[in-house]
Amino acid sequence: MRSPNPPLGGLSVDDFMRRHWQRRPLLVRGAFPGFRSPIDPAEVFALAERDDVESRLITAFSARWKLRHGPFAPDELPSRGRRNWTLLVQGVDTLHDAARTLIERFRFVADARLDDLMISFATDGGGVGPHLDSYDVFLLQAHGTRRWRIAPPPQDRTLAPDRPVRQLARFEPTEEWLLEPGDMLYLPPDWCHDGVAVGDCMTFSIGFRAPSRHELLRAFLGDCADEAPQGPDPRYADPGTPPTRHPGELPAAMHGTLSRWLLDWRPTRAQVDAFIGRYVTEPKPSVWFEPPTRRLSDDAFAARLADASLLADRRTRMAYRGNRFFINGEDLRLEGGLRAPLKRFADVRRLPPGALADAPVDSPLFCTLRAWWDSGWIHFAPADAPALGRARRSAP
Ligand code: SIN
Ligand code: CO
């Protein structure tokens, strides 16, 4: 699948991935020509009112930085006439269809790397201060103007003292640009950056994550610990141990057995493969799915499948590898006719009408889609809605 219309100006995705991705910044003037934000500031403030949405307010009034976490009632936000504040709202791609549609333009990078789309609203002078991120980020100027200053990954990562947000103590910008609506700046991890609003502005940050080895191990070991033991679970025993004359000393036999258990422990290939897929498709803790309000019988479901497309919910995360398929932190084997349709579904996030024409109601494919639909992970496209493929091309 080729990503349609990547927002990279004249640059091809191959050239972008070879020359810039993870290597060097790229400024794309008019990445989204004539861009008009599909989400207005009032909608961003409304999202920040919700307790299931991660939001932060960063103010720099009288040169004092302050951070507060949402939710924010409307009267808790500073007035729009006041300078030097910014509101950040995470995960907007899971909350707003237009944000999800926008992300489709970045699917020349694997979904497994995607973190989220964050929106920042800022009044004149507002920003989060000079910092660096461990993420790749596309900073799309959605509304108003913002001055970005950047510098290469620094030797000195000392943080400014007494700040509630991580800001670099020293920041010597090497480049600077004023971004207008539709302009976009790509930054690899560890590049220093500071974006300051020039008048009211909104920036969309499309962030791509990658776990560190320690983060991955922590999650994996936690996952293993939650599983019931596979096979026998021996307990340390020491029959026939003579009385000790040094009760404070850790017995050699005990240390020997316990250390052998730890050093000899190896996850199986199957455990590792299953974990990685579940890990990259696990929705964020704040995400929940709404099951359909109306139940459908199998026959009614089959009838809808015959003439409506199935779309992945904007919150649904999917990945496949070999004969395994992962969706929203769960895994299944791609067998019994599941393989081709589900791989295609993960790639285009849509199954056209009639895709199950040959699949009887008790087939694995039918039962799988049925279960996903019952969980709210997939939906039927409304009859008059454009398919995602088309919406992508007509996106702003
Ligand atoms: C912002 O939009 O203000 C911050 C985004 C970033 O620096 O990553
Ligand atoms: Co940043």
Distance, CA of 317 to CA of 366 (rounded, Å): 20
240 conformational bin, left if phi > 0, alpha if psi -120 to 50, beta if neither: left
Domain with CATH 3.40.366.30 in the chain: 298-380
What is the per-residue pLDDT across 21-54, written as a single tens digit (0 to 9) for each? Answer: 999 999 999 999 999 999 999 999 999 999 999 9
- Give the mutation target among 133, 139, 145 for probing the ligand 1 site: most ligand atoms within 8 A of CB: 139
7 ligand 1 Cβ < 6 A: no
Does the Cβ of 127 fall within 6 Å of ligand 1?
yes
CA distances from 195 to 162, 202, 228, 370 (A): 20, 11, 48, 46
* Amino acid letter for position 228: A
Q: What is the pLDDT of residue 229?
A: 84
Taking the CA of 139 as reference, the closest ligand is 1
Q: Across the strands, what pairs with 137?
A: 187, 207
- Are 151 and 233 a contacting pair, CB within 8 Å? no
The CATH number of the domain covering residues in 298-380? 3.40.366.30
pLDDT digits (tens, 9 = 90+) for 160-207: 999 999 999 999 999 999 999 999 999 999 999 999 999 999 999 999
CATH class of the structural domain 13-208: mainly beta
The answer, yes or no, to whether any atom of ligand 1 lies below 6 A from the CB of 137, is yes
> Is residue 394 scored above 50 in pLDDT?
no
What is the location of CATH 2.60.120.650 in the chain? 13-208
pLDDT of amino acid 396: 32
Give the global pTM: 0.92
Share of the chain above pLDDT 90, in %: 88
Nearest C-alpha neighbor of 287 from the set 100, 46, 142:
100
Q: If we measure between CA atoms, which residue out of 312, 276, 280, 293 comes closest to residue 94? A: 312
Question: By mean pLDDT, which of 60-74, 187-201, 306-320, 344-358 is the weakest?
Answer: 344-358
pLDDT given for residue 392 in this prediction: 32
